[in-house]
Amino acid sequence: MLDAQQSLRDRWKTLSQCVCDGARLMVGQGNYAAYAAHVRKTHPDREPMTETEFFRNRENARFGVGNTSGFRCC
Amino acid sequence: MGAIGKHGPWALVGALGAAALAIVATERGEAVNALWIVVAAVCTYIIAYRYYSLFIADHVMRLDPSRVTPAVRHNDGLDYVPTNRTVLFGHHFAAIAGAGPLVGPVLAAQMGYLPGLLWILAGVVLAGAVQDFMVLFVSMRRDGRSLGELIRAELGTIPGIIALFGTFLIMIILLAVLALIVVKALADSPWGTFTVMATIPIAMLMGVYSRYVRPGKIGEVSILGFVLLMLAIVYGGSINDHPVLGPMFTFTGTQLCWMLIGYGFIASILPVWLLLAPRDYLSTFLKIGTIVGLALGIAFVAPHLRMPAITKFVDGTGPVWSGQLFPFLFITIACGAVSGFHALISSGTTPKLIATEADARFIGYGGMLMESFVAVMALVAACVIDPAVYFTMNSPAALLGTTPESAAAAVTALGFAATPDLIVQTAKDVGESSIISRAGGAPTLAVGMAHIISSAIGGKGMMAFWYHFAILFEALFILTAVDAGTRACRFMLQDLLGLAIPSFKQTTAWVPSILATALCVSAWGYFLYQGVTDPLGGINTLWPLFGISNQMLAAVALTLCTVVIFKMKRERYAFVTIIPTVWLCICTLTAGYQKIFSADPRIGFLAHADRYASAMAEGKVLAPAKDAGQMSQIVFNDRIDAALAAMFIALVVAIAAFGILACLRAFRADRWTALETDARAVPAE
């Protein structure tokens, strides 16, 4: 019984995480935790950007110079 | 089990879809329930996804899940990130879905719901989704490079430059037509104008909040913005009735045109965090929410279609836009059936985020099916309202006059019984002073949406709220597109000018930036002004140009895909892209030719110019021109439009010729000549 509840809660957590990530990626914001984990693992010598820096970096990348990726469709 | 177990359920889906389509197509004299359209569409999508997209994935592309994608190869946690496929689907869909699939089908409804529906379904399955999927595949196999770079690499430098130049022209036309839709929706509408203007301070407040107060908290800042937006809509109702504020927020089309041009200039040089990014949150989430709401509304209310299946306007005499079913229906509905712009998105961020090649089918083909469904819903929304209201809203003032009496008489003469009462009452229901000649698609869609949603929530008393909600939702993401598009345009122009004057390339320097922005804004502003002052409503001129240019880009992208198929030595399957390419070339070339040379001044730019030029020679002044200066302006505008259409034709022909040559070369070669990035197995983690 407790297990079933646990797995239900896990599933809910996964689902809400997915919706949240999806909504953020729609406006060009990737997952910060994944980014930080990636930098720590592949470049242990580098300090990852802070969450705020990451946010601004992505904001600029979406609308930034020489980049039309933020361009939405007709 | 065996074949029956494997294909049986799909056969049932197919049979259901065929039955629904038969009901929709053959029912005469009795109103058809909109749900049959939805069922027909969904069954078509399911079958096409299950069989056709699988065929493309297995035989044309031979997708290989063990192959490294750019996201894995270049994973940096930023631009290249292997992403969950559902999350990426949302990202891709939000990027491709815009105003296009909402407006085109509404305009196409003048021929009845059936021609539009059939083109949307056939177009998406055989052309639109194929293009998105193929371009995504081609880009994914080449490190996620952009369409321009891909064309340069696979077809050559000159076709690459031609395609870039074409993209620039399309952007200009797109921005003008989008801005025109907003102008048409807000002219003489204090309620709408107030709510749309209110989005600017709301977005700036959000911008400051997420810059300095709580950076990165998109959820809470979006909720804050959403609540303020709803308050703005509610308060807008009081503005409408206010004796002083009401007239203060009432503007003519020309005034709004100048305001938008000024807005476009200022907004695109402001820092992105202040206005663009926060409004992007609002427009994106509102867009997704409204699409879901509309789908639920149609499913729940199950409205009947009041527009006939086919109207007499298939012969080209329609008041909304001119031209016969072929080729103009296929130009009018671009997004939703096949849209060249998607090639830019499918070769933009999406290919850099795909975790495994196996996901490309769901995201590329599936994402486009989803957009097509949005187009079907827009068609439904336009067809559930009284056809008399539809034609009152979409016919030009030159035909309707400006009073309810003259409009009712004109629409009745078109064959759709209208009374002045109906027109006055509908305007009152949606909280507007008039609904006559509100062309552009957005107001019609808003009335349709208000009709559907208010049947579910709030009843007739809430109709005005839902109408202005729908207008706001469309204006919001159109303004975001105008802002982001002007920026993108400016970067492109700086790149192009930088070829001649190197100092122009500095995108952070003030002088080149402002100069390039001013050039871009004046380019789309010119077409916008021309559209706003056009007696036939502007949409009549600009929408076909936009459709032609968008389909042209699709033809270019599909040509690239065909060349790649030949270079992979899989020409046996090249029909998958050759059929839609040929069809699009036929449509764009015929439509382009007719727009230039048709003897009917309602269709042909040159015929229209000649009419005004010869009247001028006789010293006469034709409406809407008031003097000789305006007469020569109209003649000049027509010739510019004709030149533009000619340029689009030349572009398609040139790219098609380069494409055929490249295919022949690849066919004669005895080996694989496509330039894919090296295939490596996925590195073990």
Q: How confident is the model at residue A70 (pLDDT cuts 50, 70, 90)?
A: very low
User: Which alpha helices (H) appear in B49-112, and where do they start and end?
Assistant: 54-55, 70-73, 85-96, 100-108
What pLDDT digit, counting tens, does each position of B109-128 carry? Answer: 999 999 999 999 999 999 99
Residue type, B606: L
CA proximity to B141, closest of B363, B367, B366, B354: B354
Domains assigned to chain B: 2-189+250-668 (1.20.1740.10)
Q: Locate the chain B residue with the closest alpha carbon to A67.
A: B488
Query: What distance in Å separates the CA atoms of residue B518 and residue B528, rounded to the nearest whole number?
Result: 15
- Give the relative orientation of helices B157-186 and B253-267 as an angle to the nearest 10 degrees: 130
**Closest-CA distance of chain B to residue A11, Å:** 15
> At residue B663, what is the residue type?
C
Exposure string for B254-272, b = 16+ CB within 10 A, e = fewer? eebbeebbebbbebbeeeb
On the question of a cis peptide bond just before residue B105, with omega within 30 degrees of 0, the verdict is no
Inter-chain contact A69–B349, Cβ cutoff 8 Å?
yes
When comparing pLDDT for B492 and B61, which is higher?
B61
Contacts of B269 (CB under 8 A, 6+ apart): B513, B514, B517
pLDDT one-digit tens code per residue, B67-125: 999 999 999 998 899 999 999 999 999 999 888 899 999 999 999 999 999 999 999 99
- Does B268 have pLDDT greater than 90? no
Chain A within 8 Å of B245 (Cβ-Cβ)? no
What is the average per-residue pLDDT within B412-423? 94
* Mean pLDDT to the nearest integer, B649-657: 95
A40 CA: distance to closest CA in chain B (Å): 11
Contact predicate B429/B417, CB 8 Å: no
* B326 shares contact with chain A (CB less than 8 Å): no
Number of other residues whose CB lies within 10 A of the CB of residue B682: 15
What is the ipTM score, two decimals?
0.88
Please check whether residue B495 touches A, CB under 8 A.
Answer: yes
Higher pLDDT, B139 or B633: B139
- Report whether pLDDT(B427) > 60: yes
A53 close to B (CB below 8 A) = no
DSSP for B425-450?
HHHHHTT-S--TT--SSHHHHHHHHH
CA distance B488 to B484: 6
Region of residue B441 (phi > 0: left; psi between -120 and 50: alpha; otherwise: beta): left
Examine the pLDDT at B428 and tell me if it is beyond 90. yes
Q: Are B444 and B288 in contact (CB under 8 A)?
A: no
- Residue B260 tokens read as 């938008």
* CB–CB contact B76 A69 (8 Å): no
Per residue in B460-484, pLDDT tens? 888 999 999 999 999 998 998 898 8
Q: What is the separation of C-alpha B226 from the centre of its chain, rounded to a whole number of angstroms?
A: 24
- Distance (Å, whole) CA B277 – CA B210: 10
Least confident of B430-439, B466-475, B505-514, B592-601: B505-514
Listed as own residue / partner, the contacts of B417-421 with beta carbons closer than 8 Å and 24 or more positions apart are B417/B388, B418/B388, B418/B389, B418/B391, B418/B392
Q: What is the pLDDT of residue A74?
A: 53
For the stretch B36-63, pLDDT in tens is 999 999 999 999 999 999 999 999 999 9
Residue type, B521: V
Q: pLDDT tens, B202-237?
A: 999 999 999 999 998 999 999 999 999 999 999 999
What sign has the CA pseudo-torsion B176, B179, B183, B185?
Answer: positive
Length of chain A: 74
pLDDT at A1 over 90: no
Comparing A45-49, B187-191, B306-310, B507-511, which segment has the lowest mean pLDDT? Answer: B507-511
CA distance B630 to B623: 10
Rounded to whole angstroms, the Cα distance separating B468 from B574 reads 47
d(CA B564, CA B154) in angstroms, rounded, equals 7
One-letter-per-residue 3-state SS of B495-509: HHHHHHCHHHHCCCC
Q: What is the chain B residue with the closest CA to A32?
A: B77
Residues of chain B positioned with their CB less than 8 A from the CB of A68: 146, 344, 348, 488, 491-492
Proportion of chain A above pLDDT 70, given as a percent: 82
Q: Is B56 within 8 Å of chain A by CB?
A: no
User: Closest by alpha carbon to B454, among B464, B445, B443?
Assistant: B464
- Tens-digit pLDDT profile for residues A15-48: 888 888 899 999 989 999 999 999 999 889 888 9
Q: Is the pLDDT of residue A68 over 90?
A: no
> B77 to chain A: nearest residue by CA?
A35
Give residue-wise pLDDT tens across range B151-198.
999 999 999 888 888 888 989 999 999 999 999 999 999 999 999 999
Nearest Cα neighbor of B155 from B678, B581, B657, B668 is: B657
Q: What is the DSSP letter of B462?
A: G
Q: And the tokens for B419?
A: 């009374």
B632-643 as b/e: b if 16+ CB within 10 A: ebbbebbeebbe
How many contacts, defined by CB atoms under 8 Å, are there between A and B?
A: 138
Segments making up each domain of chain A, as ranges:
2-62
pLDDT band at A71 (very low <50, low <70, confident <90, very high): low
Record the tokens describing residue B586, joined without a space: 């036929």
Q: What is the pLDDT of residues B633-642, one digit of tens each?
A: 889 999 999 9
Pairwise CA distance, residues B296 & B444, whole Å: 19
Is the Cβ–Cβ distance between B224 and B206 less than 8 Å?
yes
Distance CA B24, CA B17 (A): 11
User: Using the beta-carbon criterion (under 8 Å), do A18 and B87 form an inter-chain contact?
Assistant: yes
Distance of CA B579 to the CA centre of its chain: 23
Are B81 and A31 a contacting pair at CB < 8 A? yes
Q: Residues of chain B with pLDDT > 90: what percent?
A: 75
The yes-or-no verdict on residue A66 having pLDDT over 50 is no
SS3 of B304, please?
strand
Contact criterion met (CB < 8 Å) for A26 and B90? yes
Candidates A49, A60, A73: best to mutate against B (most CBs of B within 10 A) is A73
Q: What is the pLDDT of residue A73?
A: 54
Check pLDDT > 80 for residue B265.
Answer: yes
Alpha helices in B438-574 (DSSP H): 442-456, 463-500, 510-532, 539-567
pLDDT, residue B269, reads 86
The answer to whether residue B324 neighbours chain A at the CB level (below 8 Å) is no
Distance (Å) of CA B18 to CA B50, B613, B678: 16, 53, 44
**pLDDT (0 to 100) of residue B682:** 53
- What is the pLDDT at residue B512? 87
Identify the closest residue of chain A to B84 by CA–CA distance. Answer: A18
Closest CA to B25 of B309, B306, B329: B309
First-to-last C-alpha distance (Å) of chain B: 39
Rounded CA separation A61/B135 (Å): 22
Q: What is the pTM of this model?
A: 0.94
Please tell me the predicted confidence (pLDDT) of residue B2.
78
The pLDDT score that the predictor gives to residue B452 is 93
Write the pLDDT tens digit of every residue in B446-460: 999 999 999 888 788
Any A CB within 8 A of B280 CB = yes
B624 preceded by a cis bond (ω within 30 of 0) = yes
Mean of pLDDT values over B304-319? 92
- In this structure, of A60-69, B326-335, B348-357, B489-498, the range with the lowest mean pLDDT score is A60-69
Nearest residue, CB atoms, A18 vs list B86, B98, B492:
B86
- Mean pLDDT of all residues belonging to chain B: 92
